Amino acid sequence: MPGATSLGAWLRAPVPNSPFQARMQAFWLGWRRLRGNPPALAGAVMLLLLIAIALFAPLIATHDIYAQDLSSRLQPPSAAHWLGTDDLGRDIYSRLVFGARITLYIAFLAALIAAPLGLVIGATAGYLGGWTDTVLMRLVDIFLSFPSLILALAFVAALGPGIENAIIAISLAAWPPIARLARAETLTVRKSDYIAAVRLQGASRMRIIVHHVMPMCIPSVVVRITLNMAAIILTAAGLGFLGLGAQPPSPEWGAMLSTGRQFVMTSWWIAAIPGTAILLTSLAFNLFGDGLRDVLDPRHG
């Protein structure tokens, strides 16, 4: 700990005295870079706000998201219904708030599946090379030859509609770019001196890949999956729009957008509000991902 010195001097020390101090200095420098990037900071604030909304949805929602009131259907925004009502008289604001939970659930779970899968395949292909690299990268090329939404549609059609199957389909469509990035990172580090030293010590290929190669790829993978979150959200919304994702009466934003399309000329808020939520969430992830790249990539900043 800094002891008698100030916290600022402790964080700015030219030579850290402990691994903990080194980690805190890295965190502090990353925060300074992020704070110096207003768009990235705005994206981080928007994401924190969205997470808070999802966590406290039962507290901030004003109506039952499933309660139907046909006498109040298609009402414009008002004091009683802040964002209006849909065709069944359900409160759009409350459904939008609970829909944030579904959107983040799909996005984060798909990322948690796609990122490790792509990292393992890419690092293995890049380090082993030879026929292993050829087979795995040709598999990646096959997946990348299809647009992510079309590929997700194909998997959902095979698995069946539903939020769990949608997550699996989105994950299977999102891992190939991660694998290609991990392979490129692996090719740059596999000939490094420290890898050669570990190999001379008798470490197995599996140990080198897991403990020495993959950790070097993680920062780039984290940045890439953060930037890909916008595509994941749009794919999830597209599946919901087509009725292949979260099923009614679930307040998923894509499904809400699909419901509102038939009223877009008369009751614009039904489609415009969930569409705006999708836009802002995707924008927030893109802005934050750009800032995270500057923080985690030592070649920036």
pLDDT at 194: 85
Rounded to two decimals, what is the model's pTM? 0.86
User: How far apart are alpha carbons 177 and 109 in whole angstroms?
Assistant: 17
Question: In angstroms, how far is the first alpha carbon of the chain from the final one?
Answer: 28
- Cα–Cα distance for residue pair 201/194, rounded to 1 Å: 11
Ordered by start, the domain boundaries in the chain are 104-296
Distance CA 271, CA 256 (A): 7
The topology (CATH level 3) of 104-296 is: MetI-like fold (1.10.3720)
- Residue identified by tokens 């995270």 is 292
- What integer pLDDT is reported at residue 37 of this predicted model? 81
Q: What is the pLDDT along the chain (301 residues), one digit of tens a residue?
A: 444 357 777 777 777 777 777 778 777 777 777 777 888 889 999 999 999 999 999 999 999 999 888 888 999 999 988 999 998 999 999 999 999 999 999 999 999 999 999 999 999 999 998 899 999 999 999 999 988 888 898 889 888 888 899 999 999 999 999 999 999 999 988 888 888 888 888 888 899 999 889 988 998 898 899 989 999 999 999 999 988 888 888 899 999 999 888 888 888 999 999 999 999 999 999 999 888 887 776 554 4
